[in-house]
Amino acid sequence: MEHVLRPDEDWQSRRSVVECNRRMWTDQLACDVTFIIGHGETRMQAHKYVLGSRSCVFYAMFFGPLSGNTGMEITIPDMTPEQFSGLLQYLYTEEVKVDLDNVLPLLYAAKKYCVQSLIDKCLNTLKRNMVPENVCTVMENAHIFGNNELKTRCFNLIIQETERVFQAEDLAELCNECFISIIKEDSIPVSEAIVFEAVLKFAKGKCERSISEATPDNMKAAVANVMPHVRFPLMDKEYFTNVVISTGLLTEPQELKLCRYFLNPRPENAGDFNTKKRKFVYTVQRFMELGSGWGYKRDKCDAVSFTCSNDIMVKGFQIYGSNQGPGNLEISVHLKQEPYRANVAIKHAIVETDGKQKIYNVYFDNLVAIKKNKKYTFTLVMKGPTTYYGTSGQQILIRDNVQFKFEKSDLSTNNTTPDRGQIPGIVYELMPPPAENGENMET
């Protein structure tokens, strides 16, 4: 007589592969490997076939040439139970909750066992939740995992919010290479004294992470390759004498060179230290208040014209982000010189927005020279969800001794005007001062 399965015996019928995998793992059915996690208090069972089918590292461990050395019990001393359980959950089900509380431990586990889809999921979580207070942690992980697109996004945020980033608790999460790439940047908008204070904080943090006392010698060793990139010749002489020298971070030859420079400030007396002034990046924003729900119809254009009282170099522009949660904005921007409307810069890009950040900077591929008292027009064609928008616009603004005047453009077919709409700001650099011979020079 044919045996008929009871309902509680047949849990596989009409179940997906993922559902069956979840049942086999959660109920610990027919497991053939045990993991001892952390300090040995926690044991977790799993299936070699499932893990090997999802991770090349596990496959080599269980089925590779050296698999005969792998016993039925494997110790994982460098992970917590929650961390390893999250990894197993993802391998069995393709599902795991990733948030700011667990993203870094999961990222470590995914990297260790080469689970690229989970690595991408973790990096995307970091990208969506990136703020000045955690951007150093995000940048360092982007560097470790070779995600150059995310690293660039981090770098751009750091340049926009340098002072807040330098004050953040996670500054020392950066490796020396990443930290040097920041302080080498010409356009970080802070004084050299603030740069040095960041180096001091960075050195103390490195000592704390290596469980060593923050003595002058230990701190000097931690930032030995960082110090040459601080532009000490740009500092106030009294600050250098009273603050920098007292920290002991410079070597005696370095102190001697710089003291000679301050007595006779010629570039050749500065040794290897950079004497070039940083080119600060400025932003002029034309709206005082914020609204939400700015829509985009097919081929409709937001545009605004402007003139400025000085020659400047435009680095980029600003757009408002989505007000409907995460979403991509496909943008096409032209910067035109009037009256002939010749394009002096064009940018096509997809801007990923998180629904929280109101304004995003977008940069042209090259700096654009803007002549004083000449009229220019920004045009923006966008596809995507509705966005925030500005209201209470100011037609005349003075920023860093440059006067900007905004005017209505007849190219605007999506209702942007000097009073309301999109294109909230312009990102720019000041022109270098003229040399005595009439030519521009770097100092």
**Which tens digits make up the pLDDT trace of 272-301?**
899 998 877 889 999 999 999 999 988 899
For residue 119, the model assigns a pLDDT of: 92
- pTM, rounded to two decimals: 0.67
For residue 146, the model assigns a pLDDT of: 83
**pLDDT averaged over every residue in the chain:** 89
* Look-up of token digits 């757009």: 319
CB-based contact 351:363 (threshold 8 Å): no
For residue 431, the model assigns a pLDDT of: 78
Task: Map out the domains of the chain as residue ranges.
Answer: 17-126, 146-270, 281-430
Residue 75 clears pLDDT 80, i.e. is over it = yes
Q: What class does CATH assign to 146-270?
A: mainly alpha
**Cα 263 to chain centroid, rounded:** 40
Residue 6 clears pLDDT 80, i.e. is over it = no
Q: What is the mean predicted confidence (pLDDT) over 231-235?
A: 95
Q: What is the mean predicted confidence (pLDDT) over 55-66?
A: 89
3-state secondary structure of 37: strand
Is the fold of 146-270 the same as that of 281-430?
Answer: no
Residue 10 clears pLDDT 70, i.e. is over it = yes
Residue 437 clears pLDDT 50, i.e. is over it = no
- Measured CA to CA, the distance from residue 13 to residue 396 in angstroms comes to 71
In eight-state DSSP terms, residue 411 is T
For residue 441, the model assigns a pLDDT of: 38
Residue 69 clears pLDDT 70, i.e. is over it = no
Residue 433 clears pLDDT 80, i.e. is over it = no
3-state secondary structure of 238: helix
Angle at 203 between CA 199 and CA 207, to 5 degrees: 170
What does the pLDDT look like over 80-121, one tens digit per residue?
A: 999 999 999 999 999 999 988 899 899 999 999 999 999 999
The CA-atom distances, in angstroms, between 158 and each of 85, 120, 219, 318 are: 34, 22, 24, 16
Identity (one letter) of the amino acid at 349? Answer: A
- Measured CA to CA, the distance from residue 123 to residue 125 in angstroms comes to 5
Q: Which runs of consecutive H residues, i.e. helices, occur in 99-231?
A: 103-112, 116-128, 135-144, 148-160, 162-167, 176-183, 192-209, 216-222
Confidence of residue 440 (pLDDT cuts 50, 70, 90): very low
Give residue 271's region: left, alpha or beta (phi > 0; psi -120 to 50): left
Confidence of residue 189 (pLDDT cuts 50, 70, 90): confident
Q: What topology is assigned to 281-430 in CATH?
A: Jelly Rolls (2.60.120)
What does the pLDDT look like over 235-265, one tens digit per residue?
A: 999 999 999 999 999 999 999 999 999 999 9
Q: What is the mean predicted confidence (pLDDT) over 164-173?
A: 93
Q: What is the mean predicted confidence (pLDDT) over 170-198?
A: 93
b/e sequence 332-371, b meaning 16+ C-beta within 10 Å? ebbbbbeeeeeeebebeeebbbebeebbbbbbbeebbebe
- Measured CA to CA, the distance from residue 214 to residue 220 in angstroms comes to 9
For residue 70, the model assigns a pLDDT of: 60
Residue 206 clears pLDDT 60, i.e. is over it = yes
Length of the chain in terms of residues written: 443
**Both tokens of residue 40?**
């040995």
CB-based contact 294:422 (threshold 8 Å): yes
Q: What is the mean predicted confidence (pLDDT) over 203-224?
A: 92
What does the pLDDT look like over 118-159, one tens digit per residue?
A: 999 998 888 888 888 999 999 998 898 888 888 988 998 898
For residue 397, the model assigns a pLDDT of: 94
Q: What topology is assigned to 17-126 in CATH?
A: Potassium Channel Kv1.1; Chain A (3.30.710)
Cβ atoms within 10 A of the Cβ of 82, count? 14
